[in-house]
Structure 1
Amino acid sequence: SVLLPCYSDIQPEDPFLIWTRSDLSPNFVHLRRENDDDLKNQNQRFRNRTSMNPDALDTGNFSLTLRKPERFDGGNYSCSISKSVGSVMTAASFKHIHFLSVGQQEVEVTEGSDSVVLPCRTSSLLPEDTSVEWTRSEPEFMMVHSSSNQRNQDGFYRDRTEMSKDFLRTGDVSLTLRNPRDGDGGRYVCTVHRDQDVLRQTVVLKYVKEPFPSWASALLVLLVLVLIVSAGV
């Protein structure tokens, strides 16, 4: 999921809280009327994927949770509070989200490799406050790498991950994983926090165990033949 933040201290009587996207028809993403959601006119793209805090109108926290984000979710979202659907009092805030790609990339690494690169790229010349996180959610949540705070890194990946120090200039936020091992295979999520944008890409790492070497097979056959001959003698 992704959280679209929106806060305001404006609390009119009989309020409507509206999340919209102007490039869609219908443009309603989520509507809160008093303390109840009114989703009859919600755009079908967002059906069963949006939610807000039950006490949003009381606390002024109008943030929207969007579950299972897809590429078509990228766009400009408007959060506003009004007395009626057709009379907007104020635009509380705006949120822009973009996603790097549909689906996912796949990378394969063979047992015994020195390292593997999990690719992830965004635009170059990133703002200074841009942060990048590499995470895993299966079999449990794990912080694989963080550009801003490595103290939260899971011990399984300690001293094995590295990102380019020049990623702000190049936009290359790929992750190098050293000494790949059994257990590294799985789904990785690259998340880039850039200004008000959230960019996300999934990389699936396939860990392939090295097959039994041919020279070892030949040696085993030779050893069996020697044992047979020795037994015959």
Structure 2
Amino acid sequence: MFVVFVFLLRVSQHASGVEVYGGDKSVLLPCQLPAPSKEGVVVWRRNDLNPAIIHVLTEEGDNLADQNKHYTKRTSIQMDALQTGDLSLTLRNPTFSDSGTYTCTTRKHGEKLNQTEVQLQVKEHTPVWPTVLPAILVPLVLLAVGFAVFMGLVYNRMKKTAVCQLKVVDVTEGAKSVVLPFISKKLKSLDSYKVEWKHIQDDEMKVVDDRNRTQNKRHHGGTEMKKDPWTTGNASLTLMKPRCRDGGVYICTIYGKDGKPIKQKVVALWVKEGWLKTIRGFCRSAGQTVG
């Protein structure tokens, strides 16, 4: 009974747990020998692997002949571990596959002196983006939505106020007339007082029609604005006998009683040369006359 009792005192078994994140430089698996000895063998194993040997240290030094290839050049134990009693294993570059139960066993002359189990858990690093990305995206999304709403309000506001619209009209010089269109049903509901057409390339060309049914016409070939645009919704302007110099940009502006513009439209007029004038110009350049 006494001999058995002594044997139990000499053999101890401990269990511990170690956690580390994958990508860390190294991790230390602890193992301590209660009574240091100059003689013996230290064996680190992982029994769920084949081969199970992780690292072996003898009195002469490391013996890695049977080491699992997965741990090649990744493990180390202090050379004086048996003398100091610190049998801890250093595992470099731990990965998720290194997770498991490691056993540190010390034997002397075939007798087990000490055994320690270390449970290693290698955790994956929690990605930064899942936590940071919402903090970045949410303000950006809110900003984008706010900007879209703001632009929508601005657009609706512009539609309700003086909106400038562009229309392109082309005609050939020598035609009887050309119409610069401005038709809008809103004219009937607008509290407008005056309609004004102006040729911005020719300050003298201006046609004005107000509620007093008076028109001021300045154009070499004559102009005609549709009568009573407030009833018909038609404020189009007709230019008689258009010439090339009549080409350009015309602006029609509708004013309210307070003199402020309510609505505008821009018409670009392109007056092309007639075929006869083109031939005459060609003949003049050739020293001939036509007609």
TM, length-normalised to structure 1: 0.52
Contact 2:101 2:119 in 1 (8 A): yes
Corresponding residue for 1:119? 30
Kindly provide the amino acid, as one letter, of the partner of residue 19 in structure 2: E
Output one character per residue of 1:30-76: Cα deviation in whole Å (capped at 9) or x when no partner. Answer: xxxxxxxxxxxxxxxxxxxxxxxxxxxxxxxxxxxxxxxxxxx8744
Aligned residue pair count:
142
Corresponding residue for 2:83? 169
Contact 2:17 2:118 in 1 (8 A): yes
The structure whose Rg is larger is 2
Indicate whether 1:212 and 2:127 are aligned. Answer: yes
Structure 1 or 2: more helix by fraction: 2
Kindly provide the amino acid, as one letter, of the partner of residue 101 in structure 1: Q
CA distance in 2, matches of 1:123, 1:156: 30
Which structure has more relative contact order (CA 8 Å, sep 6+)? It is 1
Instruction: Determine helix, strand or coil for the equivalent of 1:134.
Output: strand
Kindly provide the amino acid, as one letter, of the partner of residue 123 in structure 2: V
Instruction: Determine helix, strand or coil for the equivalent of 1:150.
Output: coil
Corresponding residue for 2:92? 178
CA distance in 1, matches of 2:110, 2:119: 27
Counterpart among 13, 16, 20 of residue 101 in structure 1: 13
CA distance in 2, matches of 1:207, 1:141: 21
Contact 2:46 2:52 in 1 (8 A): yes
CA distance in 2, matches of 1:159, 1:216: 35
Output one character per residue of 1:92-131: Cα deviation in whole Å (capped at 9) or x when no partner. Answer: xxxx8843235x1111112221111111111454133x11
Kindly provide the amino acid, as one letter, of the partner of residue 116 in structure 1: V
Contact 2:51 2:66 in 1 (8 A): no
Instruction: Determine helix, strand or coil for the equivalent of 2:27.
Output: strand
Kindly provide the amino acid, as one letter, of the partner of residue 212 in structure 1: P
Contact 1:74 1:99 in 2 (8 A): no
Kindly provide the amino acid, as one letter, of the partner of residue 45 in structure 2: T
Contact 2:11 2:115 in 1 (8 A): yes
TM, length-normalised to structure 2: 0.42
Q: Which runs of 4+ in 1 moved over 6 A?
A: none
Instruction: Determine helix, strand or coil for the equivalent of 1:169.
Output: helix
Contact 1:127 1:194 in 2 (8 A): no
Relative distance call for 1:164 and 1:212 in structure 2 (3 A) is: same
Contact 1:105 1:204 in 2 (8 A): yes
Instruction: Determine helix, strand or coil for the equivalent of 1:152.
Output: coil
Output one character per residue of 1:120-176: Cα deviation in whole Å (capped at 9) or x when no partner. Answer: 111454133x11110011154421111142111111001110101111220111101
Relative distance call for 1:223 and 1:74 in structure 2 (3 A) is: farther
Query: Sequence identity, in percent?
Result: 30
Kindly provide the amino acid, as one letter, of the partner of residue 25 in structure 2: D
Instruction: Determine helix, strand or coil for the equivalent of 1:156.
Output: helix
CA distance in 2, matches of 1:133, 1:202: 12
Corresponding residue for 1:15? none
Kindly provide the amino acid, as one letter, of the partner of residue 160 in structure 1: R
CA distance in 1, matches of 2:66, 2:51: 12
CA distance in 2, matches of 1:146, 1:122: 15
CA distance in 2, matches of 1:184, 1:97: 32
Shift of the alpha carbon at 1:212? 2.3
Contact 1:119 1:173 in 2 (8 A): yes
Relative distance call for 1:140 and 1:172 in structure 2 (3 A) is: same
Instruction: Determine helix, strand or coil for the equivalent of 1:183.
Output: helix
Report the RMSD for the aligned CA atoms in angstroms.
Answer: 3.0
Relative distance call for 1:196 and 1:143 in structure 2 (3 A) is: closer
Contact 2:42 2:104 in 1 (8 A): yes
Indicate whether 1:135 and 2:49 are aligned. Answer: no
Indicate whether 1:147 and 2:57 are aligned. Answer: yes
